[in-house]
Amino acid sequence: MASFVQTIFVFEQRNYSLKEILAVKSAPDWLQTVQNQLIDFTSIRSEMEFHTSGSTGSPKRIVHQKTYLEASAKRTLDYFSLQPGDSAALILPAQFIGGSMMLVRALMGRLTLHLLPPKIAVEDIPSVDFLPCTPAQFKAAMQNDALRDFSGSILLGGAPVGDLEPVAGIDLYVGYGMTETASHVALRSLSEKVYSAVDGVQFTTLEGTLIIDAPHLGIKGLQTNDLVHLLDAYSFEFIGRLDDVINSGGLKIHPVVLESHFPSDGCIVCVSSTEDEVYGEAVVIVFEGVVSKSRVQELLQDVPRSQQPKFMLSVDKLPVLESGKIDRNEVRRLIQESQHRLFPL
């Protein structure tokens, strides 16, 4: 812990050392998560455990050597020219890789890190040198004028950026990465389409899907579920995802999980999505036949609010493949053509 004494944590307008922030009692739940992650990283254990968001398949446990986390943090610090004493803010959940890596960067880079509740709409964001956030958080911050004094760099990640446009006075970047890669392995300016590899990373493809090699992260031949246009070994353009995971405001939602709440001998359903200006994607539940709103709410009462469908749509017959499985691509097309028939939940 002694090697991190120069890192400063700012909580409720007061400065804390690492030892002092860990000693804060009766902390809100989100700050307790921050404390737990800091304790884990600074412990004598050589590894840290994370769980994937599900963007490359079903959620799974990932264990990273701390040396890999340090190597990832160093490359971000170097890319954004962050020096000891520079400032950053944490508004991401600390238990996931994006938030946890910001803690590691602060410790490794001897930064001043402002700790704020990880909400979509953060009321007041300090003017720091570096801010990682989701596109949904950035949109809310712009709408709420929470970035009125901001002049640093913002790193967007965790969800598609959609129709976001550059903002005068703010350097906006988009990261490409996942839990398996200990945060981003490629970056681009929001005004550009091409992702460039961070130092030490190379790319290849297999049938159009991106494959990552990053020796400093212990990664060799990591195949993703992302279709890309590979320009060379160090750059690519992102095309789209292969899987059916719905990414709503940075939260990965699995259709089969929501669909499991409906009895197999009752409702025939397909969970899909539609484009949303704020969250990137909004969950739509499509029914074969007619189902009442009250029945839907009853069946989904145990589902967390953040994963609840935003709309419902009734169709005469759900499209199916030759195998008998629901044709999810065709369902998406039906939703796109039936925007006027989407019923809000």
Q: Is 252 left (phi over 0), alpha (psi -120 to 50) or beta?
A: beta
How far apart, in whole angstroms, are the C-alpha atoms of residue 186 and residue 174? Answer: 9
> What pLDDT sits at residue 58?
54
Q: Do residues 121 and 91 lie in contact, with contact meaning Cβ atoms separated by under 8 Å?
A: no
Count Cβ neighbours within 10 Å for each residue of 3-14 and write b for 16 or more, e otherwise. ebeebbbbbeee
> What pLDDT sits at residue 286?
94
Q: Where are the domains of the chain?
A: 2-241, 246-344
| DSSP reduced 3-state for 23 | coil
End-to-end distance of the chain based on CA atoms, in angstroms? 49
- pLDDT (tens digit per residue) in 299-338: 888 888 888 899 999 999 888 765 456 788 889 899 999 9
HSE at residue 28, side-chain half, CA atoms within 13 A, is: 10
CATH 1.20.1260.10 for the 246-344 domain, yes or no: no
2-241: CATH, from 3.40.50.300, 3.30.750.200, 3.40.50.12780, 3.20.20.70 = 3.40.50.12780
Residue range 58-86: mean pLDDT, rounded: 94
CA 115, 38, 101: angle at the middle one, nearest 5? 70
For residue 182, give both structure tokens: 């200990």
Q: Which helix (H) or strand (E) is 156 found in, with range?
A: strand 153-156
Of residues 157 and 261, more confidence is placed in: 157
% of residues, the chain, pLDDT over 90:
62
For residue 103, give both structure tokens: 């803690």
pLDDT at 71 exceeding the cut of 80: yes
Residue range 201-223: mean pLDDT, rounded: 96
> What pLDDT sits at residue 1?
43
pLDDT at 229 exceeding the cut of 70: yes
> What pLDDT sits at residue 57?
46
| DSSP reduced 3-state for 317 | coil
How far apart, in whole angstroms, are the C-alpha atoms of residue 226 and residue 236? Answer: 11
Helices (H), the chain: 18-22, 29-42, 66-79, 97-109, 135-143, 255-259, 293-299, 328-337
Of residues 54 and 125, more confidence is placed in: 125
